[in-house]
Amino acid sequence: MKAKKVIFIILSSLVIVQVFLIDVVLKSLGPESIGLYTIKQFLLISEIALFYLIINKIESKIERNSVSKIGILLILTAAILVIFGLLSFIPGIKFDLSSQYIIALNYFTVIISNIFSTLIIFISVYFFVILKNFILSYRRKSTIRNFILLCISISLTSLTYFYTGVGKSTSFSMLLMVISIILMLIHSFRLPWVIYLSRKEKYYTIGYLILLCPMIIFLVVVLGSSSNINSPVGVLYYSSSIVRELVFNIFLFGTIYLNVAFISTIFHLPTQDIFDKKLVEISSLHNLSRLVTQAFDFRDLIEEINKLSLTVCDGSCTWIEIKNKKNNSGFYIAGSKNISLDEINELYSNSEFKISEEVKNNKKLVYLENINSKLLSNENLSKKIKSLIAFPLISHSDLIGIIYIGSNQQYGFDKEYFNIITTFADQVTISLENAELLEKSFEKERIERELLLAQKMQQKLLPQKFPEHPNLDIYAFTLPAYEVGGDFYDFSTINENKIGIILGDVSGKGISAAFYMSLIKGMFQALSKIYESPKELLININKSIYGIIDKNSFVSLIYGVLDLIKGKLYLSRAGHCPMIWISNSNIQQIKPKGIGVGLDSGDIFTNTIEEIELQLNSNDVCVLYTDGITEARNKKNEEFGLEKFIQLILNNYNNKAFTICNNLIDEVKSFTEQDTQFDDITLVVFKWKNFEQN
Amino acid sequence: MTDFKIVQCEKNGISIIELKGFLDAHTAPELEDTFQKLIKNKKYKIIVNFRDLSYISSAGLGVFMAFIEEVRKNEGDIKLTNMTPKVFNVFDLLGFPILYEIYGNEEDAIAKFLKDGENKDSMTQEIE
């Protein structure tokens, strides 16, 4: 790119030198060399083109705002006027008209003309490029096409002067001129940049244009009217009529364009306020929409909303009330700006101050245009708030909050803005809801974490290892339907040859069941050491639990104490599923009498409960279970059922307790096909072995 | 899946609740509401007919536990009738037959209510 620029500069220098040489030759040879004259014209055209390319390159790299562009135009115009001024003062510049060509009368004239005409051409092209940048800023599809038409029209107009003498024009060139002027007029309305000027920039623009417009009008008059070849414009005529015409056209266009721009800028001044406000509104709404996606912290969000309220509505203080969703106790002030909480409370304590009620009742914006000082006894406050708007934040026709914006001027708000305030309110509502959803999801995550923790705790509450004794083979399994459950099993070592095995089911599922379960586990561990008889233990658990447990909750328990030497099992049941006892393929459901724990305060429970003594044979299988197994359901809503369960135990009769347990659970799982588990599942399998016999 | 329906009627001043379908943790609140309304209206003589109930879970059993105390305090009762063997088994396991009166049909339960009423009357007469 840089190389191109250098080539252009070298080329244009060459062209300038050539033009100069031709002028020298023409001076020495006399005006008869038409051929040379033609070459000069072509060289000048290429000079203009090269200048355009160079300047365009330079300008395209510089970011100028509109004001600085006008400034440059002012400098360029002034420069040309200075040049013309100089020319009229330099003595000895003399031209003569021979037939239709201008000839320089001395070599000094040739030199001076060449220097200044080149300068003028350069400045004019520069002027044109800046104008072009004005026209093509904020371009539309048609902009470039129209501008190219204008360029062609101007070029053609200029080219018609190829062989025309000074001050002469053909009707064809006049026609082209008219077309050019029409196109210039059309282009002079391409002034979108004026709208986007800030107030300060507009003042600068007007200031520059006040200087520039008369100057450029004067320049155009000079360029257009003077056909006197010994006036300063003669330098251009001498250079070429094409050049003069082109320079004239460029500045004519400049005159039209800049004068229209001047008037337009002046007319835009009164609407400046509105435009500035709109720009602020747009940018604040934009900020808010960004806020919606970024609000992670509620307090930050409120702070940001307050800031935006002030900018959007041009207020002097603001506060926001938000509905308290947690306990529905009405509204609270979530945040304020430029007004303290005390001041707001003071405002609210005034019985005349009914704006909140009004908004709450009508769910519509309320505007107090002119607040009298009666309403605001506090002097400080009455200075701060002279007018006030309050508007509701409505989500699904529910009022979730109110934004108040006060102004320190009477009639401080423009009713035109109320539309925008509605949009603003919508955005705020969305962002608040977003923040709330976010908070909820954090909360949910927290609860999930807590539940996982509870699950781990509950797993720790289960016996970490099974009782070990040469005469005992035991295994157990539990699987809650949710994270935590109400099923449990536990063991207690009563003495070295006696163990207690308990299994239970707290009614209901989930957390509440889990709490009772841990309670009963604690009681069991404490009481089993005191009451050796299962019956006594259950009676005591019932007594302790009855007052604590919910009326509609209860616990079913089954508890056996196994004498590992004698193979005797003492069994009591409190409303639980019976024990399945398989001895030599003889299936028995052991169901001693007893009602659930927590159903009765004591007497009925105590009078009902039985204790059974069983003499186990070696390798008998005993199974304790919860109804989660027998009532497990598959997709067809069929129950797993007790019969199938017993049959499976029979099939596994000779296996170890561990295998029996796992096989049973696998069967249940494959039956339900991993569907949602409805209830907790718990299973204890144990076998007594007569060590002496074996 | 949780199909549950309650049909209510009244005979001889005794409220009869017929249960249909599945009574579990999801449907139990419906039954709770029914009991609450009865108690609010001071109807303490209640018969629950289980003829069309196909399943009851522990949460369902809990509903009866929740109200029996208050009902009995007000000289009423909740009597259960027409249980299928399966449903009876669930009640039986927990020992409900000891705590509640369970009858084969509504008529027996109504008769019991009426008889209790007479006994009470004759007792008060005796005292006088």
Per-residue pLDDT tens digits for A507-536? 876 788 888 888 899 999 999 989 989 999
A251 and A104 within one domain: yes
Q: Are A223 and A163 contacting, i.e. CB atoms less than 8 angstroms apart?
A: no
Tell me, yes or no, whether A450 lies in a domain: no
Per-residue pLDDT of B21-37, as tens digits, reads 888 878 888 888 888 88
pLDDT tops 80 at residue A469: yes
Nearest to B17 by CA among B81, B72, B60, B95: B81
Do A436 and A469 fall into the same domain?
Answer: no
Of the residues A274, A304, A327, the one at which a domain ends: A274
d(CA A393, CA B29): 36
The CATH number linked to A575 is 3.60.40.10
Please report the pLDDT score of residue A298 as a whole number. Answer: 80
**Domain membership of residue A418 as a residue range:** 295-440
Q: What's the Cα-to-Cα distance from B90 to each of A87, A351, A596, rounded to whole Å?
A: 121, 65, 11
What is the helix (H) or strand (E) element at residue A258, kind and residue range? helix A241-268
Q: What is the mean pLDDT of residues A374-382?
A: 70
A281 assigned to some structural domain:
no
Domain stops at, among A440, A457, A473: A440
A642 interaction partners in chain B (CB closer than 8 Å): none
Confirm whether A454 is domain-assigned.
no
Contact of A412 with A387, CB cutoff 8 Å: yes
B61: chain A residues, CB-CB within 8 Å: 507, 554
* DSSP assigned state of A559: E
Are both A513 and A555 inside the same structural domain? yes
ipTM of the complex: 0.82
Do B61 and A554 make contact, defined as CB atoms within 8 angstroms? yes
DSSP state of A371: -
A168 band by pLDDT with thresholds 50, 70 and 90: low
Q: What distance lies between CA A26 and its chain's CA centroid?
A: 73
pLDDT at position A694, please?
47
A56 and A190 inside one domain: yes
Residue B123 has pLDDT above 60, yes or no: no
Residue A694, domain member (yes or no): no
Lowest mean per-residue pLDDT among A21-30, A307-316, A504-513, A669-678: A669-678
Q: Rounded to the nearest 10 degrees, how much is the dihedral formed by the CA atoms of A81, A83, A86, A90?
A: -140
Q: Which residues of A touch B69 (CB under 8 A)?
A: 551
Q: Are residues A515 and A383 in the same domain?
A: no
Are residue A269 and residue A310 in the same domain, yes or no?
A: no
List the single residue in A507, A574, A599 with the smallest CB-CB distance to B59. A507
CATH, residue A414: 3.30.450.40
Among B90, B93, B99, which would you mutate to test the A interface (most chain A Cβ atoms within 10 Å of its Cβ)?
A: B93
Measured between CA atoms, the residue of chain A closest to residue B70 is A551
Taking contacts as CB-CB distances below 8 angstroms, the residues of chain A near B94 are: 554, 556, 575, 595-596, 599
Q: Which of B113, B49, B58, B54 is nearest to B82 (CA)?
A: B49
**Same domain? A233 vs A338:** no
Residues A314, A196 within the same domain: no
Using N-to-C axis directions, what is the helix angle for A272-294 and A418-461, rounded to 10°? 10
For residue A486, CA distances in Å to A351, A411, A510, A511, A555 come to: 57, 67, 7, 8, 9
- Please indicate, yes or no, if residue A313 is contained in any of the structural domains: yes
B62 vs A679: CB contact, 8 Å cut-off? no
For residues A545 and A661, state if they share a domain.
yes
* Per-residue pLDDT tens digits for A204-256: 999 999 999 999 999 999 888 766 777 778 888 888 888 888 999 999 999 99
B93 touches chain A (CB under 8 A): yes
Q: Which residue has the tokens 């449903």?
A: B87
Are A372 and A501 in a shared domain?
no
Residues in chain A: 694
Phi, psi of A557 (to 5 degrees): -130, 150
**Residue A224 and residue A92 share a domain:** yes
Q: Do B94 and A552 touch (CB under 8 A)?
A: no
Going by C-alpha positions, the residue among B23, B20, B17, B33 that lies closest to residue B58 is: B23
Predicted confidence band at A119 (pLDDT cuts at 50, 70, 90)? very high
A372: in domain: yes
- Is A286 inside a domain boundary? no
Q: What DSSP assignment string belongs to A461-521? A: HS-SS----TTEEEEEEEE-SSSS-SEEEEEEEEETTEEEEEEEEESS-HHHHHHHHHHHH
Residue A291 — pLDDT band, cuts 50, 70, 90?
A: low
The residue written with tokens 């003399």 in the block is A94
In a domain, A7, yes or no: yes
Last residue of a domain, which of A242, A274, A306? A274
CA–CA separation, A519 and A536 (whole Å): 18
Tell me the whole-structure pTM to 2 decimals: 0.57
Least Cα separation, residue A676 to chain B (angstroms): 13
The alpha-helical segments, DSSP class H, found in A335-417 are: 341-349, 355-362, 379-384
Q: A485, A680 in Cβ contact below 8 A?
A: yes
How many structural domains are present in chain A? 3
Q: Are residues A168 and A305 in the same domain?
A: no
What would the pLDDT profile of B34-92 be if each residue is shown by its tens digit? 888 888 888 888 889 888 888 888 778 888 888 888 888 888 888 899 888 888 988 88
Nearest alpha carbon to residue A362 among A387, A391, A332? A391
Closest among A82, A241, A246 to A254, alpha carbons compared: A246
Instruction: Tell me how far CA of residue A532 lies from CA of A614, A684, A686, in angstroms.
Output: 16, 20, 20
Q: How many residues does chain B have?
A: 128
